[in-house]
Amino acid sequence: MASNTLIEAPVVHVGNDPDILAAAARLNGEDMCSIADLSSGEVRAIVKLGHDVKRHPEKYRHALDAKQMVLMFEKASLRTRLSFEAGINTMGGNAIFVDQTNSPLGERESIADIARNVERWVDVIVLRTYAHDTITEMAANSRVPVINALSDFEHPCQALADFMTLDEHFGHVAGLNFTYVGDGNNVCHSLMLTGAQLGANVTIATPRGYSPDIEIVTLARDIAQANGCELRLLQDPQAAVEGADAVYTDVCVSMGFEHESTKREPIFRPFQVNEALMAKATPHAVFMHCLPARRNAEVTDAVIDSPQSIVFDQAENRLHAQKALLLLLLGGLS
């Protein structure tokens, strides 16, 4: 069924857009381990190119002909795996999936040696890991681009798609009031950095002890200041959603933290996004979630299934935003 909320992708003049031209020149061959690897202009370029890829997929049908992409995943995935695989396949390339869930990277041979092998066969390495260092170590030892498809520290591909979705929905991102309620970890970190780079006012509400990493906070604050927007950290979800244009949450028990479920559930209960909490946001506010959701835990059915919810638009845009990223890193626009 068609999306209930999504407006058509905006028109973008890829050939002469200065952000896209600059990003195509600088990012060719680069890694994307963190949103912090990108400048504000490069984040804008991915969002704009994502819109064009969505509007005109046929233009990019052969942009990555014969390019080989390997996905090495230590954790489960639905959206990330399928959107990367479909993305490269629809641009003429090919995906190879390596299930590392029972064979953590670095166990059988060193990460550096894996990189020195894999770069001989493929054009890009997409990693989903526990330790963020696994991703940076692979990047440091690989001559082909490495993309972070989620680590315990960041989920940059998610945040790029999410802000593309907000741009599509509202027609702009700068000046939007974006509120995240929940665990201050990977998704939250990437959202903070991306929001600051695009000029959104970002408010984060986490329980005490679950606030975002201080280095990311400092970095995101510096970026926000340079872009004339604000980053606020609160512990009160009610206050955090006041005036919000978008309310975002994630699971309170991320992959790898299952052993903490019993401890976390009561701590995160007051942070549930329900109708009463959404009523404190602006009347036009959208609800967002990276998915998978644990229904009636961090978000109620009434909210995630409401007309305010744009969660499946976010999921769709994983495809378009990642195609844009691949085009830039693999030189698909030249």
Closest to ligand CP by CB, 85 vs 123, is: 85
Tokens linked to 130 = 């526990």
Q: Which of 44, 155, 189, 289 is catalytic?
A: 155
Closest to ligand NVA by CB, 124 vs 290, is: 290
Distance between CA atoms of residues 146 and 32, nearest Å: 6
Are 198 and 163 in contact by the 8 Å Cβ rule? The answer is yes
Query: By the criterion CB under 6 A, which residues form the site for ligand NVA?
Result: 185-187, 250-251, 254-255, 290
- At 124 the three-state DSSP class reads strand
Residue 131 burial (CB < 10 Å; 0-12/13-18/19+)?
A: middle
Active-site residue 158, yes or no? yes
Shortest reach from residue 326's CB to ligand CP, in Å: 16
Active-site residue 295, yes or no? no
| Torsion (CA) 47, 50, 54, 55 in degrees, nearest 10 | 70
Active-site residue 155, yes or no? yes
Query: By the criterion CB under 6 A, which residues form the site for ligand CP?
Result: 77-80, 150, 158, 290-292
Closest to ligand CP by CB, 131 vs 291, is: 291
Distance between CA atoms of residues 10 and 238, nearest Å: 33
Residue 249 interface partner, choices ligand CP, ligand NVA, none, CB cut-off 5-8 Å depending on type: none
Shortest reach from residue 65's CB to ligand CP, in Å: 26
**Which residue(s) pair with 95 in the sheet?**
69
Closest to ligand CP by CB, 142 vs 151, is: 151
- Residue 28 DSSP code: T
Shortest reach from residue 78's CB to ligand CP, in Å: 4
Active-site residue 128, yes or no? yes
Catalytic positions: 128, 155, 158, 250, 290, 318
